[in-house]
Structure 1
Amino acid sequence: MDRTERFYHIDRLLNERRVVPVQAFLDELEVSLATFKRDLEYLRERFNAPIVWDRDAGGYRFDAPASGPRYELPGLWFNASEVIALLTMRQMLKNLEPGLLSAHVEPLLTRLRAILGEGELPIEDIDKRIRFHRQAGRTHDSQHFAPIATAVLQRRRLTIDHYVRARDETVTREVSPQRLTFYREAWYLDAWCHLRNELRSFALDAIRSVTLSTEKAKEASDKDIARVLDGGYGIFSGKQVEWAELEFTSEQARWVSKEVWHPDQKGQVLDDGRYRLQVPFSNPTELAMDIMRHVPAVKVIAPQSLRERIRGLLEQGLSSV
């Protein structure tokens, strides 16, 4: 039984009985007398628990509430492993979207600190001991994330000024948010675009302004979202899906065979150690970039259009050297 559970049992015994002998606590908690007394002292100091020794009754009991904060144990109980998982999750959230949940998470951290104590698990060490390394991440205006997340969860429309990099222009659109996606170090808003009357993904770093509307968002079915936004490769959407067939050398297969390029991919290790990979795509842009990372240890078998695209990129690269 860890310390958190012992606090719960001490509180329960004192509430169930008027007076609790020391031996009853030791039997229930399965700890030494010294450990039990340390737990009592902690409950008194940290939680302002009005626990007193009643000499006449021969046990401990709750006294009248003391001055100061009202005695109340946290409503959530966590063992050591759960606390570590929560703190690790908090570290992940802090790296994904700095400051977004701080106001909501800090009160929980305060309670966790009270439960754990100063010496048992130094919470401050989480930042130092658990590291999230982000590379080539694109930053967005942090003020935009909260209203976008609100619109997604409350099912409200947004008006956004969206910068289209390919045309170097900014377009104002009304959109009905469907979901937020974190993909390859960047956030994307998947939404129904009322300007184009179709589902689209908008990179948050390309959004210049956000206005939250009171109008109800248009709902797209999960089936349509999956068909349009999830059927292709990576973040690039499209309704017409093709299958790419790639072959990696036996050396490269040691790494690639462990990678997930697409949830629906098909992989096969050949007899000589080469790795055959099939992935669906609708727009070849991102797939081509991933293939180029493995040149010359990869061969594009099909389709012919993808082979020609990779050949063209290689020729362009050689011409610029």
Structure 2
Amino acid sequence: MDRTERLYRIDRLLNERGVVPLRMFLDDLEISLPTFKRDLEYLRERLNAPIVWDREARGYRFDVASTGPRYELPALWFNASEVYALLTMQQLLKNLEPGLLAPHVEPLLSRLRMLLDRGDISPAEVEKRIRFHRQAARAHDTKHFAPIAAAVLQRRRIVVQHHNRARNESLQREVSPQRLTFYRETWYLDAWCHLRDELRSFALDAIKDVKLSTNPAHEVPDEDIRQTLDAGYDIFSGKGVQWAELEFTPERARWVSRETWHPLQEGRFAEDGTYRLRVPFSNPTELMMDILRHVPAVKVLAPISLRDGILGQLQEALRSA
């Protein structure tokens, strides 16, 4: 039997018999004395099990629980593949948003580490062998995440102090949160802006103050949110969607053909090996940035306005070089 099963068996013997001799444990579990001692130490140190040796009864028993976390065995069992998946998930949670989610998920991670710290693999080993590298992530004020998440789930309005980086000015807005979105290393609040009377996406790092309101949130139908914020390319999508048609060289197609630029994209290979990609967009800013990453291995076939925008960016870069 594996370690998890042995822990449950030790617990059951103690509960059923009250006092259990050492030899009964070794025979029932079919393990050596060092293995039993390691299991006993794990139960005491990691799970706070009040197991003591009773000299008079010459056996182990449960003592009165001391101060500290209450002893209980985990209610879930996992096979090896599930353990590896959960340990990897632990790393993903830890690295998803350092400093922002850490205070909120650390209690979960602590319990997960206690649950999954097995003899054959440990969270420390996963941290060493599986790494997540994040680039271009913007810092957030961690104290704002909790009230924003609460407003999203409780369907309450919030009053935020939002900094517009383009105009370098701050403005107070009352908004009705609809959802939180993690996009390209940044958290965004999708909300109905009562100042502008429309749906907007607000980067959390641009929010300087948050106050929960007692007013209920204005509800926006899911279909309206999808059409306004999800129909086109990038997080700042909107109505008036156009379609961009791009052509990539055969060499670059080996990578691009396996990428997802947008859920509604259309892609196909031409006979000459080039790759045609069609993606919807409304605001061209972010799409142009992604296209420029592939220059000179990409051509903008349509629309002309997008092609002219790319040309203007390249000419400006040459003038400032």
TM-score grouping bracket, smaller chain normalisation = 0.7 to 0.9
For residue 65 of structure 1, what is the aligned residue in structure 2? 64
CA contact (8 A) 2:136 2:185 kept: yes
Between the aligned partners of 2:312 and 2:140, the Cα distance in structure 1 is 33
Instruction: Encode CA deviations 1:241-261: one digit per residue, 9 max, x unaligned.
Output: 121111100011111111110
SS at match of 1:98: coil
1:168 corresponds to which residue? 168
Residue 315 of structure 1 is matched in structure 2 by: 315
What is the match of residue 261 of structure 2?
Answer: 261
Q: Distance in 1 between matches of 2:140 and 2:104?
A: 22
List gaps (5 residues or longer) in structure 2. none
| Structure 2 counterpart SS, 1:210 | strand
Deviates more, 1:226-235 or 1:32-41: 32-41
Of 229-238 and 159-168, the range deviating more from structure 2: 159-168
Following superposition of structure 1 onto structure 2, how do residues 47-196 of structure 1 map, counting pairs within 5 Å? 47-50=48-51, 62-63=61-62, 65=64, 72-77=71-76, 79=78, 82-111=82-111, 114=114, 121-196=121-196
Match of 2:304 in 1: 304
Q: Is the 8 A contact 1:161 1:170 kept in 2?
A: yes
Q: Is the 8 A contact 1:246 1:301 kept in 2?
A: yes
After superposition, the Cα gap between the structure-2 partners of 1:88 and 1:55, relative to the gap in structure 1 and judged at 3 Å, is same
Structure 2 CA distance for aligned equivalents of residues 45 and 319 of structure 1: 66
Structure 1, gaps ≥5 residues long: none
Q: Deviations over 1:146-201 (max 9, x none)?
A: 22222212221111122223333322211011111111122211100011111110
8 A contact 1:48–1:68 mirrored in 2 = no
Q: 1:95 to 1:107 in 2, by over 3 A?
A: closer
Distance 1:168 1:117 in 2: 49
Cα distance in 2 between the residues matched to 1:160 and 1:298: 41
1:297 shift after superposition: 0.7
SS for the counterpart of 1:180 is: strand
After TM superposition, the structure 1 = structure 2 runs for residues 206-221 of structure 1, keeping only pairs within 5 Å, are 206-221=206-221
Change (3 A) 1:314 1:99: closer
- Cα 1:247–1:78 shift into 2, 3 Å: same
How has the CA–CA distance of structure 1 residues 106 and 173 changed in structure 2, closer, same or farther, with 3 Å as cutoff? closer
Structure 1 residues 27, 201: CA separation in 2 closer, same or farther (over 3 Å shift)? farther
Summarize the Cα distance change of 1:296–1:60 in structure 2 as closer, same or farther, 3 Å threshold: same
Contact 1:4 1:77 in 2 (8 A): no
How many residues align structurally? Answer: 318
Q: Quickly say closer, same or farther: Cα 1:28–1:259, change in 2 above 3 A.
A: farther
Identity value in percent = 64
The 1:160/1:111 distance shift into structure 2, 3 A limit, reads closer
Q: Which letter does structure 2 place at the counterpart of 1:72?
A: Y
In the superposition, the TM-score normalised over structure 1's length comes to 0.83
C-alpha separation in 1, matches of 2:69 and 2:246: 66
Change in 2 beyond 3 A, CA 1:178/1:18:
same
Q: Is 2:204 aligned against 1:204?
A: yes
The AA in structure 1 aligned to 2:150 is T
Give the match's secondary structure for 1:273: coil
